[in-house]
Chains A and B, each alone.
Chain A
Amino acid sequence: MSDLETKPADDTAAGGRVNPVDNKFTRSLSHVLSDLGKNGIFIALILVVVVFEILTNGVLLRPQNVSNLIVQNGYILILAIGMVMVIVAGHIDLSVGSVAAFVGALSGVFAVNMGLPAWLAIVLSLLIGAVVGAWQGFWIAYVGIPAFIVTLAGMLIFRGLTLVVLGNQNIGSFPDFYRALGNGFLTDVFGKYNIDPLSIGVAVIAIVLLVVQSIRTRRGRQSYAQAVEPLGWFVAKLVLVSAAVLLFAYALATFKGIPVTLIVLAVLILIYGIVMNRSVFGRHIYAIGGNLHAAELSGIKTRVVTFWLFVNMGFLAGLAGLVFTARLNLAGPKAGDGFELEAISAAFIGGAAVTGGVGTIGGAIVGGLIIGVLNNGMSIMGIGIEWQQAVKGLVLLLAVAFDVYNKRRSGGR
């Protein structure tokens, strides 16, 4: 505890700290620095991208590869969204890979073996994902078995059931509508151009919305007399983000256009970002992870929240299973192997705390992208899978170590 109350004199006298020169420049500089500290994960992503862009002689950021990065990692990012929510609440889910495989296999049964319409197969599969989540949520929230155990069991149970459903066979090939989930692009919607106008158009609209929303938030804060960041930094950040979005859109536009997976992801990030930041449910998740007892004694229905968290995780695991199956055009027994570990890594690299209470959707997505760039970059360089594994493990360890160090330095818990 730093005694804000008892030692106000510390800043000047015995404490040894001298009042810093307080002017506009130092204030904005300290603001920028603290912002950079908070956004360390973004800087890490940029760093990883730059390093691999150099190491791969520019292959990494070629339009086709940028598009691949999204499509290849889509299902991990979907899982990372659910996983970071589970981790913030102080739990873990080891079963998502198996659940994804199980739902993928069932979708094969629905769409291929039974010949149901693709949309119906998708809806049914997602429902089953949610039911699986409800099953696990029941044991965790209402019976009180640690999530680690329940989902470890789930990992085995649903891997086994996947094999049962598949009966030692792969199921393929899927109808086109279904396959679009993993492979589709919105190509040439407005006719054939070298640069797809839709991609650029969507990017421009997104940038406009971002700017409008940022300004509204800033105005809102100001009208409630809250501190806001310096105007220069505010504008600079918007310009930087806009430029990045445009470059990304340009890459997509010169390849096949917007991948369907990206649309799915964007919708999910938007919805879950709002849920975690702004909804009562999201607030309750942070409160439970931060201090379960305090949350309970504040009237938060901790069991209900935990239950629905796992229902949601099951739903997202099912969706990830569909996207993965669609991409391979095949439901196989090995699908989803190791997905849980990549999703968990993404959440932790993205700044989630092992003890719960801390973590963001954005962080998990960026964490997932870092893993994706590492995978992709090392593959381009022709580095074998054995070294890829080792490097990813090391990155996870260093990311969490950095986080722990940072927290200790800032004197948090």
Chain B
Amino acid sequence: MTTNILEMRNITKTFPGVKALQEVTLDVARGEVHAICGENGAGKSTLMKVLSGVYPFGTYEGDIVFENETMEFRDISDSEAVGVVIIHQELALSPYLSIAENIFLNNEIKGSFGLIDWNKTNIEASKLLARVGLRENPTTKVRDLGVGKQQLVEIAKALSKRVKLLILDEPTAALNDEDSDHLLDLILSLKGQNITSIIISHKLNEIKKIADTVTVIRDGKAIETIPKVDVTEDRIIKDMVGRDLEHRYPDHTPHIGEEILRVENWTAYHPQDPNRVMVDNVNLNVKRGEIVGIAGLMGAGRTEFAMSLFGRSYGTKISGQVFKNGKEIKTRTVSEAIDNGLAYATEDRKYYGLNLIEDIKRNISMASLKKLERGGLVDDNEEYKVADGYRKSMNIKAPSVLAKVGKLSGGNQQKVVLSKWIYSDPDVLILDEPTRGIDVGAKYEIYTIINRLAAEGKGVIVISSELPELIGICDRIYAIAEGRITGEVPIAEATPETLIKYMTMEKERI
């Protein structure tokens, strides 16, 4: 057993109402690169948060054994003290501080009188930068670096803490190909310096390139651990998605009519980095009564596509054409998009979708106040009646429509969002992760509502990273990767395996 640097034994982590991890066991050998794969929400990040002390000892069951000692981390500084360092997907750097200041943040090199010794700080920082292969002056501000270089600064920071086990949570998700390659090479060179790495990723080709061992997690359970020689993409995919798909989705008999919406050559660039293409020449269409899925991993450009289409709410240098019922329409502002019969329910309800301090009634009417205007004033009584109608028909569980939306559960909040958009009377609804963060029962209700909308002859686009969900409710599914449509799959041929293949298809491989 001495070859294992880390053994996590029977880890169980429960959130109110949800078992996020069930009896997960993970053994990591000293000096290896160990990949952890799984769908979004499978429990990968939770496992790493348990390991790094973000969820302190006592809030989970099971043992963490690091270098043959049982650990009881109370917070991140405890785990960092023994050499376990986690680099999160969202980088934790302070943009207005220099590289050196960031590296030694909360770990400052002190000289006489307890003051910071800046010379030594910068010299030590330069040494660490050389180790990660970053040629930058340590006094450069972090905000002047690209994401790839910032990632390297994070690793240099980890090295400054004498890291033995480095955990990287989707490190290449925001990087371009060149930066990704550089980062993967660096992980391999750290391996040569006897630093063990755990890398969370769903990019299968990069896992194949660097991992010595792969553990697949699904629904909070470790499915299997595969040594390098046995790793195949098919095997990982099968492990990631193999679950019972029956009876989780309401029956749906499509009545598909003529084309209602067509998008041609839609392209959008990153708002801060106008050379980075985020949505790349997307072509797609939706027919009356059809539920069309867009499958893509986080950061693949799904939300960016939807938001750039919906009133240019995202991105710059947007180009392309939109046709409704064969006629070209413009969607340059949100109100123009709404007037032209589009609706977009956002991925992040609380941040982008709802006014949490207002009541249900005012949230539902928010996008269509003009309809309630009588002689220049909003007719509150009519508004109440409309909202109460939706409360009943959508089964929003609240004492009355005067209840504040912030106090509702996630599922009910989502029903308020859907009510708002249904009341705006759209022809095409784009629903971005409509069931994220809501429980199974409410999910079923949301699917029923989606079916009803399609049955009324509307076109529905569902964006989701849960493949079983898309397969369960859609009539046709597009896969998107790196901003491009990489595949279009009729429902009869849609399996998680085929979809994941398209979703992880990278540019040079086509």
Give the interface of A toward B (CB within 8 A).
1-6, 220-221, 223-227, 274, 278-280, 283-284, 286-287, 290-291, 293-301, 353, 357-358, 411-413
CB neighbors of A among B409-463 (8 A)? 409-412, 420, 439, 442
B98: Cβ under 8 A from any A Cβ: no
Given contacts A4-B397, A4-B398, A298-B420, contact A293 B338 (CB under 8 A): no
User: Which one of B313, B355, B369, B398 has the highest number of Cβ atoms from chain A below 10 Å of its Cβ?
Assistant: B355
16 A-B pairs (CB sep. < 8 Å) = A1-B408, A4-B397, A5-B408, A5-B411, A274-B377, A279-B377, A284-B369, A290-B355, A290-B356, A294-B352, A294-B355, A298-B420, A301-B335, A353-B357, A357-B357, A412-B407
- CB contact between A300 and one of B354, B366, B388, B404 (< 8 Å): that residue: B366
Complex CA distance for A58 and B334, rounded to whole angstroms: 59
Residues of A within 8 A of B407 (CB): 1-2, 4, 411-412
B378 touching A297 by the CB < 8 A rule? no
B356 touching A299 by the CB < 8 A rule? no
B337: Cβ under 8 A from any A Cβ: yes
A279 touching B378 by the CB < 8 A rule? yes
Complex CA distance for A226 and B442, rounded to whole angstroms: 27
Which of B45-53, B64-72, B379-387 lies at the binding interface? Answer: B379-387
Question: What residue of chain B has the Cβ atom nearest to residue A4's Cβ?
Answer: B397
B354 touching A294 by the CB < 8 A rule? yes
A3 touching B377 by the CB < 8 A rule? no
B344: Cβ under 8 A from any A Cβ: yes
Q: Scoring B residues 17 to 58 as 1 if CB is less than 8 Å from chain A, else 0, what string do you get?
A: 100000000000000000000000000000000000000000
Complex CA distance for A223 and B382, rounded to whole angstroms: 11
- CB contact between B356 and one of A4, A226, A413 (< 8 Å): that residue: A413
Complex CA distance for A358 and B346, rounded to whole angstroms: 24
Residues of A within 8 A of B354 (CB): 291, 294
Complex CA distance for A353 and B355, rounded to whole angstroms: 14
Complex CA distance for A295 and B338, rounded to whole angstroms: 13
B17 touching A299 by the CB < 8 A rule? no
Complex CA distance for A295 and B335, rounded to whole angstroms: 11
Residues of A within 8 A of B376 (CB): 279
Given contacts A280-B369, A286-B358, A294-B353, 15 further A-B contacts (CB under 8 A): A5-B409, A221-B384, A226-B381, A278-B377, A278-B378, A279-B378, A280-B373, A290-B358, A295-B355, A295-B366, A298-B338, A298-B367, A299-B333, A301-B333, A412-B407
A283 touching B378 by the CB < 8 A rule? yes
CB neighbors of A among B208-230 (8 A)? none
A221 touching B381 by the CB < 8 A rule? yes
Complex CA distance for A12 and B204, rounded to whole angstroms: 51
The list of the 9 closest CB pairs from A to B, nearest first, reads: A290-B355, A299-B335, A298-B367, A5-B409, A278-B377, A299-B334, A299-B338, A291-B355, A298-B366
Complex CA distance for A16 and B333, rounded to whole angstroms: 50
Residues of B within 8 A of A290 (CB): 355-358
Measured CB to CB, the closest approach of chain A to B431, in angstroms, equals: 13
B357 touching A293 by the CB < 8 A rule? no
B370 touching A280 by the CB < 8 A rule? yes
A4 touching B352 by the CB < 8 A rule? no
Complex CA distance for A331 and B343, rounded to whole angstroms: 54
A220 touching B355 by the CB < 8 A rule? no
Give the interface of B toward A (CB within 8 A).
17, 310-311, 313, 333-335, 337-338, 344, 346, 351-358, 362, 365-367, 369-370, 373, 376-378, 380-382, 384-385, 388, 397-400, 404, 406-412, 420, 439, 442
A6 touching B384 by the CB < 8 A rule? no
A297 touching B439 by the CB < 8 A rule? no
Residues of B within 8 A of A294 (CB): 352-355, 366
Measured CB to CB, the closest approach of chain A to B360, in angstroms, equals: 11
A5 touching B381 by the CB < 8 A rule? no
- CB contact between A280 and one of B311, B352, B355, B378 (< 8 Å): that residue: B378
User: Which one of A6, A227, A357 has the highest number of Cβ atoms from chain B below 10 Å of its Cβ?
Assistant: A6
B355 touching A412 by the CB < 8 A rule? no
Residues of B within 8 A of A301 (CB): 333, 335
- CB contact between B385 and one of A2, A224, A280 (< 8 Å): that residue: A224
B377 touching A293 by the CB < 8 A rule? no
A296 touching B358 by the CB < 8 A rule? no
Measured CB to CB, the closest approach of chain A to B368, in angstroms, equals: 9
Measured CB to CB, the closest approach of chain B to A407, in angstroms, equals: 9
User: Which one of A5, A278, A291 has the highest number of Cβ atoms from chain B below 10 Å of its Cβ?
Assistant: A5
B442 touching A5 by the CB < 8 A rule? yes
Measured CB to CB, the closest approach of chain A to B393, in angstroms, equals: 16
Measured CB to CB, the closest approach of chain A to B320, in angstroms, equals: 20
A412 touching B406 by the CB < 8 A rule? yes
A357 touching B410 by the CB < 8 A rule? no
B377 touching A1 by the CB < 8 A rule? no
A297 touching B334 by the CB < 8 A rule? yes
Complex CA distance for A1 and B407, rounded to whole angstroms: 5
Question: What residue of chain A has the Cβ atom nearest to residue B374's Cβ?
Answer: A278
Measured CB to CB, the closest approach of chain A to B303, in angstroms, equals: 12
- CB contact between B409 and one of A6, A220, A284, A291 (< 8 Å): that residue: A6
- CB contact between B400 and one of A3, A227, A278, A412 (< 8 Å): that residue: A227
Complex CA distance for A395 and B408, rounded to whole angstroms: 34
Given contacts A5-B411, A5-B412, A411-B407, contact A297 B313 (CB under 8 A): yes
Complex CA distance for A4 and B384, rounded to whole angstroms: 21
Measured CB to CB, the closest approach of chain B to A176, in angstroms, equals: 36
Given contacts A4-B398, A5-B412, A278-B380, contact A297 B373 (CB under 8 A): no
B334 touching A296 by the CB < 8 A rule? yes
Question: What residue of chain A has the Cβ atom nearest to residue B410's Cβ?
Answer: A1
Complex CA distance for A226 and B409, rounded to whole angstroms: 23
B357 touching A299 by the CB < 8 A rule? no
Measured CB to CB, the closest approach of chain A to B425, in angstroms, equals: 13
Measured CB to CB, the closest approach of chain A to B31, in angstroms, equals: 45
Measured CB to CB, the closest approach of chain B to A356, in angstroms, equals: 9
Measured CB to CB, the closest approach of chain B to A122, in angstroms, equals: 26
A413 touching B357 by the CB < 8 A rule? yes
Residues of A within 8 A of B337 (CB): 299
Measured CB to CB, the closest approach of chain A to B286, in angstroms, equals: 20
Question: What residue of chain A has the Cβ atom nearest to residue B379's Cβ?
Answer: A278
Question: What residue of chain B has the Cβ atom nearest to residue A1's Cβ?
Answer: B409
B381 touching A220 by the CB < 8 A rule? yes
Residues of B within 8 A of A286 (CB): 355, 358, 362
Question: What residue of chain B has the Cβ atom nearest to residue A299's Cβ?
Answer: B335
Given contacts A283-B362, A299-B338, contact A4 B412 (CB under 8 A): yes
User: Which one of A6, A287, A294, A413 has the highest number of Cβ atoms from chain B below 10 Å of its Cβ?
Assistant: A294
A4 touching B408 by the CB < 8 A rule? yes
- CB contact between A3 and one of B310, B351, B355, B409 (< 8 Å): that residue: B409
User: Which one of B369, B382, B406 has the highest number of Cβ atoms from chain A below 10 Å of its Cβ?
Assistant: B369
Measured CB to CB, the closest approach of chain B to A141, in angstroms, equals: 15
Complex CA distance for A181 and B382, rounded to whole angstroms: 40
Measured CB to CB, the closest approach of chain A to B308, in angstroms, equals: 13
Complex CA distance for A266 and B407, rounded to whole angstroms: 37
User: Which one of B354, B358, B406 has the highest number of Cβ atoms from chain A below 10 Å of its Cβ?
Assistant: B358
Complex CA distance for A1 and B388, rounded to whole angstroms: 21
Complex CA distance for A225 and B398, rounded to whole angstroms: 16
Measured CB to CB, the closest approach of chain A to B413, in angstroms, equals: 8
Residues of A within 8 A of B442 (CB): 5
A413 touching B406 by the CB < 8 A rule? yes
A297 touching B352 by the CB < 8 A rule? yes
Question: What residue of chain A has the Cβ atom nearest to residue B400's Cβ?
Answer: A227
Measured CB to CB, the closest approach of chain B to A353, in angstroms, equals: 8
Complex CA distance for A296 and B311, rounded to whole angstroms: 10
Question: What residue of chain A has the Cβ atom nearest to residue B417's Cβ?
Answer: A294
